Structure 1
Amino acid sequence: MPEASGHRWRHRARVVAGAVGAALLFGLLWEGYKAFGAPDGGKLFGVRVLPRADDAAMPHIAEILGRFAAPELAGAEPIWLVVLRAALFTLRSVALGFGFAVVVGLLLAVLMQRFRVVERGLLPYVILSQTVPLIALAPLIAGWGGRLSIGSRPWEPWMSVATIAAYLAFFPIAVGLLRGLQSPAPITEELMRSYNAGWWRTLVKLRLPASRPYLFPALRLAGAAAVVGAVVGEISIGARGGIGRLVIEYSREATTDPAKVFTALLGAALLGLAVAGAVGLAELLLSPRRRVSTR
């Protein structure tokens, strides 16, 4: 096997081993705190600083995993199927929001790299946009969307959720890609100018390839942000069918069926991991494969 291919496989193995190790460590910490933590939690100056360790607040991990196989209600579908269906519903909004964020982030980064006056004037507002709390922004987007329509199709709640996901996701893409586009050394830019390469050719042949180490980490952050935005958006505007709405519905049964609440939370977490994994797979497929001579 060529050296480069072997290195990629070793890297994948380390990533998988790290993910499995992190999950096992989290499980050990959870069960350890449940075994030795105070049932009423830890308080400092009358303020609870540590969570409660009783069964209502922290069910055993085995109980949470077993709840996936049990029916959601008596005689209903198993809860894993309900959570999976809700996660796939949310995934539609995440995918649309993420795709729109990639387009917007790419355009903003290219414009800010091309025109320094645009960077100086626009970048502070791009940063400032992320300081607006989603809990206040989501109802505004839903209200504005209610007055819009796409042709003859009325604006639907999941479209507002996709817009909120895009709002959170475009920022890391724009900032990360801008840093990548500005990363080539001045000597390489001089070399491109010596070849009489224009701005567009320099962008395609030099800046975009140089930005790949910056772009894919930014895309992973954007994917996670899109999931957070979609879940928070569903909770804030009351959109039905998604994993965010499922979190709210299951939270009402926290006192009688605490493990059920964690199934929805775990479903949302796995959705975020799936999106990040899809970005990682895309990075692997798009990485240049170098042939290494064995002679």
Structure 2
Amino acid sequence: MKARVATVVGSFLLTVGVWEGYKAVGNPDGTVVFGTRLLPRADDLAMPHVWTMVGRLFDPDVAGGPPVWRAVASAVLVTLGEVAVGFALGAVVGVLLAVAMQRLRVIERGLLPYVIVSQTVPLVALAPVIAGWGGALSIGPYPWQPWMSVAVVASYLAFFPIAVGVLRGLHSPTEIEVDLMRSYSASWWRTLLTLRFPAARPYLWTALKLAAAAAVVGAVVGEISTGTRGGVGRLLIEYSRSATSDPAKVYTAMFGVAALGLLVTALVAGGERLATPAVLRGDRS
């Protein structure tokens, strides 16, 4: 635990050091080679000091209003809800697809290429389409809400690593282990529950961590592309309007996105720690 904390703190200090170091020695107009800017501009407009950005969190969002960190925290909570729904939906779809592909090789051969190709579709183009379709739908007496479109976009990115990771885990048992289950006259369903799913557990948790980060990206891009208000993605757009006069304010919204990604990943890692026995984690009592 101490090693992990030290790693996190060290990574943060290294990032700050690289940022401030480049700002101190970098070209204010950026480094240009053969007409192409290879490194960003190091002036205060493009790269404010770290302490300036942190201090901006405690300044009022608008004159006489609450501090910026409250607006960012409120937006992060809204996006967190969308990420949670999208992550859960993506996890269910991903696991079901993996089980179906493991059960029938014809489904794996026919479906897996399309699952992979699906991730090449730009979210910026896909999100408005999902929002347009959703506007014509309703869940019983409840009309489709804008946040639902964002959750669907998040699930679109989340299901892929889960489907691929779980499928790999379901295929991980050796032929000897599978033959042993057959010698016990175990059905496919019992083999799935007692052999394949336990073998896929390490792959599942790794896939869930990747899916959590992907769901955050999907939710933020979905909010930006569909114009959904209240979330941190929309806050990025609103704060970017003052980029020339108040550049540090833009980075406060980016801090919120980074904090959201770390929070979601930490929650998944905490779930893995609670669900994994101490013996398998290598903990010493």
Report matched runs for 1:28-177 at 5 Å. 28-177=17-166
Q: Please list the CA deviations of residues 64-91 of structure 1 after superposition, one character each: whole Å capped at 9, or x if unmatched.
A: 1111111101110111111000000001
2:275 aligned partner: 286
Number of residues paired by the alignment? 282
Q: Does 1:216 align with 2:208?
A: no
For 1:126, the aligned partner's letter is: V
1:5 aligned partner: none
Selected match of 1:226 from 210, 215, 229: 215
C-alpha displacement of 1:106: 0.5
Unaligned runs of 5+ residues in structure 2 are none
1:203 aligned partner: 192
For 1:18, the aligned partner's letter is: T
Distance 1:211 1:112 in 2: 14
Report which stretch shifted further, 118-127 or 195-204: 195-204
* TM-score (ref. length: structure 1): 0.93
Residue 130 of structure 1 aligns to a residue whose secondary structure is helix
Q: Does 1:15 align with 2:4?
A: yes
C-alpha displacement of 1:152: 1.7
2:266 aligned partner: 277
Distance 1:126 1:115 in 2: 16
- Percent identity of paired positions between Structure 1 and Structure 2: 63
Distance 2:25 2:253 in 1: 26
C-alpha displacement of 1:23: 1.0
Distance 2:161 2:42 in 1: 36
C-alpha displacement of 1:290: 3.3
Unaligned runs of 5+ residues in structure 1 are 1-11
Distance 2:6 2:276 in 1: 22
Selected match of 2:237 from 248, 254, 259: 248
1:263 aligned partner: 252
For 1:125, the aligned partner's letter is: Y
Distance 1:281 1:32 in 2: 34
